[in-house]
C-alpha cells in the first residue's frame, strides 16, 4: 500500500485487526501465485498495482466520488446494466467475493450447502471486511439462482435496507423480454431517483460508449490469447477480467489496450508465456471472483496454459456489445434490454446458446481440453456440466468436471485430477 489508510477504514467501520490479517493473506497469495510467474508482460505492472491498492487507493477514489455527490452502486451479477449507472454519473462496483472469509458467521444465517460465492459476500459483510460494501449507496441483487435470491432477503437486513432487486427472467421468450425491458425501465427510474439526475439520450450514449469500449478492450485481450503460444498466462488474463469489475472504466480500458499493444508485438514475434504446442485449456462455468485463482494456479502450475474463460468473469461479461445507434432514452433502454439478454447464464432454461458459445470459443482459442468449473453447490452450473461435456465430445477433446469451494483443503486432490486430465491432451483430434 502506498500509504496508511487506517483512518479511512475505521470511518467505514472496517474490523481493522481482521482486515490486516486478510490483506496479509492476500498479499502472500498474490506473491506466490502471480509474482512468481515467469515472462509476464510489462503491462501487468498496472494490475499488480491495482491489487496492491485494492482496499486502499481505489476505496479512496470511491470515497472522494461520494463526497462529490456521485452514487456508489454495488452489483453481484453481469445482468445489472453498468451503462445506466454511468448515465447518472454513478460508480459501478462488482461486489462478488472469491475468498473463504466470514464463513462461520455466514453459516449462522444460511445453510452450509450454499455456494461459496454467496457465503463469501455475506461473510465479508458480517466480518466487517469489505470497504466496497461499506461505501455503497445502493446494492443491486437479482433473481437468478435460488441461493442468491433468498440470501438477498437476509442480506438486506445486514445492509440496512440498501438492497434493490432486479427481476431477471428465467427464459428468453417474448413475455420474458417484455418483463426484462420493464425491469430496465424500473431500474433506470430508481437510479434517477437516488442520484437526483435525469438520464438523457446524450448521457446514455456517452455511458454506452464507455462500457462498449471496455468490452472491446477485453475482446481484444481474449482474441490475442488465440495465438500459439499464448502471449499471456490464464492467471494474468483472469486478473484483468476480475479488475474489470471495480476499476475506473476509462482508466481500465486504456490500460487493457496498452497491455494488448504489448501482447500484439509478442504474438508477431512468436513469443509467449509457454512453449508452442503446450496444452491449451478452456475453462467454463461459475464465475471466479477476486481472489479466486485456485483452478488457474493448479492448471498453469501443472504446465498447461488457460486460453479462455467462458464465465461471467470472462467472455459472458464482454462478448456482446450494446447497439449505440439510438436517438431516445426509450430506444436506448430497449437496446440495453436486448444486449443483456444475450448473456447465457445457467440460471436460464433452456440455455442451449451457452453450448454454442462454448463451442465457438473452444474453436477460436484452439482448446485442447475443456475444464468445467462449478462452485460447489452451484446447482445451475453443476447440472449444465453434463451438456458441456457433449460439446467436448463433439470436438473430440478431453473434458474434466470440477466442483470445489474456496478452501485449500482439496488442492492435492485437484492437482492429481488435473494432471491426469492434462496427460490426456494430444489423444484428442481437433476438428
Ligand atoms: S449471469 S453466473 S453473475 S447469476 S455461483 S451465486 S449462480 S449458486 S453467480 Fe452469476 Fe449473474 Fe448468472 Fe453470471 Fe448462484 Fe452459482 Fe453461486 Fe452464482
Ligand 1 pocket by Cβ (under 6 Å): 77-79, 115, 117-118, 144-145, 147-148, 286-287, 312, 343, 345, 347, 375, 378, 380-381
Question: Mean pLDDT over residues 317-322, rounded?
Answer: 98
- Ligand 1 center to 13 CA (angstroms): 28
The whole-chain average pLDDT of the chain stands at 96
> In this predicted model, what pLDDT tens digit does every residue of 9-63 receive, in sequence order?
999 999 999 999 999 999 999 999 999 999 999 999 999 999 999 999 999 999 9
Mutate to test the pocket of ligand 1, among 120, 147, 317 (most ligand atoms within 8 A of CB): 147
Is the confidence at residue 428, as pLDDT, over 90? no
Cell numbers standing for residue 162: 440498501
Cell numbers standing for residue 117: 460465492
Closest residue by Cα to atom 9, ligand 1, is 287
The neighbour count for residue 68, using CB atoms within 10 Å, is 7
Residue entry with cell 445507434: 325
Q: Which atom of ligand 1 is nearest to the CA of 144?
A: 4
- Ligand 1 center to 299 CA (angstroms): 23
Task: Sort strands 305-310 and 163-166 into parallel, antiparallel or unpaired.
Answer: unpaired
Closest residue by Cα to atom 2, ligand 1, is 345
Q: Given this model, what pLDDT does residue 430 score? A: 37
Alpha helices in 130-268 (DSSP H): 131-135, 146-158, 174-195, 201-224, 234-243, 249-268
Cell numbers standing for residue 108: 449462522
Question: Mean pLDDT over residues 330-350, rounded?
Answer: 98
CB 84 within 8 A of CB 336: yes
Q: Given this model, what pLDDT does residue 426 score? A: 65
Is the confidence at residue 154, as pLDDT, over 50? yes
Confidence band for 133, pLDDT divided at 50, 70 and 90: very high
The whole-angstrom separation of Cα 228 and Cα 221 is 14
Q: Which long-range contacts (CB under 8 A, 24 or more apart) does 29-37 make?
A: 29/291, 29/293, 30/291, 33/235, 33/293, 33/297, 34/235, 34/236, 34/239, 34/293, 37/233, 37/235, 37/236, 37/273, 37/300
Question: Mean pLDDT over residues 197-219, rounded?
Answer: 98
Q: Starting at the edge strand that comes first in sequence, how are the strands of the sheet with 163-166 ordered? A: 91-94, 72-75, 138-142, 163-166
> In this predicted model, what pLDDT tens digit does every residue of 357-392 receive, in sequence order?
999 999 999 999 999 999 999 999 999 999 999 999
The whole-angstrom separation of Cα 80 and Cα 265 is 35
Amino acid at each position: 500500500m502506498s500509504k496508511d489508510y487506517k483512518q479511512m477504514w475505521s470511518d467505514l467501520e472496517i474490523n481493522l485487526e481482521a482486515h490486516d490479517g486478510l490483506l496479509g493473506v492476500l498479499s502472500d497469495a498474490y506473491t506466490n501465485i502471480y509474482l512468481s510467474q515467469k515472462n509476464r508482460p510489462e503491462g501487468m505492472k498496472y494490475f499488480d498495482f491495482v491489487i496492491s491498492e485494492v482496499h486502499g487507493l481505489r476505496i479512496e477514489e470511491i470515497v472522494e466520488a461520494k463526497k462529490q455527490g456521485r452514487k456508489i452502486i454495488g452489483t453481484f451479477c453481469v445482468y445489472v446494466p453498468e451503462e445506466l449507472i454511468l448515465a447518472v454519473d454513478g460508480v459501478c462496483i462488482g461486489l462478488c467475493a472469491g475468498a473463504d472469509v466470514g464463513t462461520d458467521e455466514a453459516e449462522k444465517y444460511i445453510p452450509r450447502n450454499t455456494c461459496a460465492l454467496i457465503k463469501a459476500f455475506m461473510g465479508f459483510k458480517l466480518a466487517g471486511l469489505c470497504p466496497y460494501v461499506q461505501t455503497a449507496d445502493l446494492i443491486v441483487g437479482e433473481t437468478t439462482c435460488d441461493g442468491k435470491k433468498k440470501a438477498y432477503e437476509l442480506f438486506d437486513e445486514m445492509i440496512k435496507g440498501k438492497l434493490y432487486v432486479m427481476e431477471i427472467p428465467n427464459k428468453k421468450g417474448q413475455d420474458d423480454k417484455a418483463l426484462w425491458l420493464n425491469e430496465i425501465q424500473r431500474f433506470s427510474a430508481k437510479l434517477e431517483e437516488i442520484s437526483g439526475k435525469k438520464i438523457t439520450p446524450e448521457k446514455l450514449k456517452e455511458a454506452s460508449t464507455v462500457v462498449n469500449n471496455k468490452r472491446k478492450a477485453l475482446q481484444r485481450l481474449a482474441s490475442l490469447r488465440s495465438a500459439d503460444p499464448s502471449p499471456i498466462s490464464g492467471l494474468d488474463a483472469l486478473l484483468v477480467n476480475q479488475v474489470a469489475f471495480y476499476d475506473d472504466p476509462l482508466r481500465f480500458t486504456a490500460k487493457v489496450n496498452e497491455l494488448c499493444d504489448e501482447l500484439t508485438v509478442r504474438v508477431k514475434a512468436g513469443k509467449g508465456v509457454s512453449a508452442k504446442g503446450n496444452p491449451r485449456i478452456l475453462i467454463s462455468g461459475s464465475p471466479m471472483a477476486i481472489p479466486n485463482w485456485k483452478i488457474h494456479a493448479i492448471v498453469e502450475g501443472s504446465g498447461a496454459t488457460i486460453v479462455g474463460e467462458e464465465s461471467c468473469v470472462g467472455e459472458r461479461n464482454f462478448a456482446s456489445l450494446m447497439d449505440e445507434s439510438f436517438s431516445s432514452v426509450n430506444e436506448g433502454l430497449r437496446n440495453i434490454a436486448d444486449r443483456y439478454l444475450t448473456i447465457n447464464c445457467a440460471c436460464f432454461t433452456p440455455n442451449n446458446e451457452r453450448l454454442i458459445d462454448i463451442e465457438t470459443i473452444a474453436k477460436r482459442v484452439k482448446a485442447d481440453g475443456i475444464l468445467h468449473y462449478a462452485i460447489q453447490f452451484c446447482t445451475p452450473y453443476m447440472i449444465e456440466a453434463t451438456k458441456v461435456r457433449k460439446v467436448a465430445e463433439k470436438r473430440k477433446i478431453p473434458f474434466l468436471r470440477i466442483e470445489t469451494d474456496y478452501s485449500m483443503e482439496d488442492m492435492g486432490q485437484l492437482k492429481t485430477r488435473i494432471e491426469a486430465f492434462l496427460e490426456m491432451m494430444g489423444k484428442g483430434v481437433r476438428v
